[in-house]
């Protein structure tokens, strides 16, 4: 049974990445464009452009979520997204109470750890990272056949 589960790991990881990226991008779209119920605490509205930290967090959520969902630059996008969620938890939620259940920071904590996992695992299956890596590896000459450039 472990063998079958291990062989499915890249696919499960790819689906996990897609779902987490989509949910994160939805948070950014809600805050920036007022869709899907709008920004939290604005009665369906949007965050004001350029306001700290809300607008910047929303941009990171939208762009980072889309990049992670597509599997494009997954590790870099995930480290930025994880850091933004750590900031959100410790600066916005944690001063209110110690535990996420008490301070409303469950989503921030979960996104932070989910993205940190993707930093270490990569995109898994179905990611554009793998497609681009495969194409560049096929198009490059093998290292043994490359000739030095004469000056």
Q: What is the rounded average pLDDT of the residues 72-76?
A: 95
**What was the pLDDT predicted at 76?**
96
- pLDDT greater at residue 39 or residue 10: 10
Instruction: Give the count of beta carbons closer than 10 Å to the beta carbon of residue 114.
Output: 21
Cβ neighbors of 126 (< 8 A, separation 6 or more) are 11, 14, 15, 17, 18, 71
**What was the pLDDT predicted at 63?**
97
Of all residues in the chain, the percent with pLDDT exceeding 70 is: 88
* Average pLDDT of the chain to the nearest whole number: 87
- DSSP 3-state assignment of 123? coil
Q: What is the rounded average pLDDT of the residues 94-107?
A: 92
Least confident residue range of 48-52, 78-82, 147-151: 147-151
Res 20 pLDDT > 70: yes
Res 10 pLDDT > 70: yes
- Both tokens of 136, joined, read 């560049």
Please state the pTM of the whole predicted model.
0.82
Handedness of CA 117, 121, 125, 130 (dihedral sign): positive
The burial class, CB within 10 Å (0-12 / 13-18 / 19+), for 119 is middle
- pLDDT greater at residue 35 or residue 143: 35
């Amino acid at each position: 049974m472990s063998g079958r589960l291990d062989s499915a790991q890249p696919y499960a990881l790819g689906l996990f990445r897609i779902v987490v990226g989509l949910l994160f991008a939805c948070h950014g779209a809600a805050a920036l464009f007022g869709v899907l119920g709008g920004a939290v605490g604005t009665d369906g509205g949007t965050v004001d452009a350029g306001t700290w930290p809300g607008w910047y967090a929303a941009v990171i959520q939208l762009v980072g979520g889309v990049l992670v969902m597509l599997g494009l630059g997954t590790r870099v996008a995930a480290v930025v997204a994880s850091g933004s969620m750590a900031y959100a938890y410790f600066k916005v939620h944690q001063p209110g109470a110690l535990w996420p259940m008490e301070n409303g920071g469950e989503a921030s904590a979960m996104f932070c750890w989910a993205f940190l996992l993707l930093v270490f695992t990569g995109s898994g299956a179905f990611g554009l990272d793998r497609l681009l890596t495969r194409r560049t590896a096929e198009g490059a000459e093998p290292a043994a056949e490359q000739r030095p450039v004469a000056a």
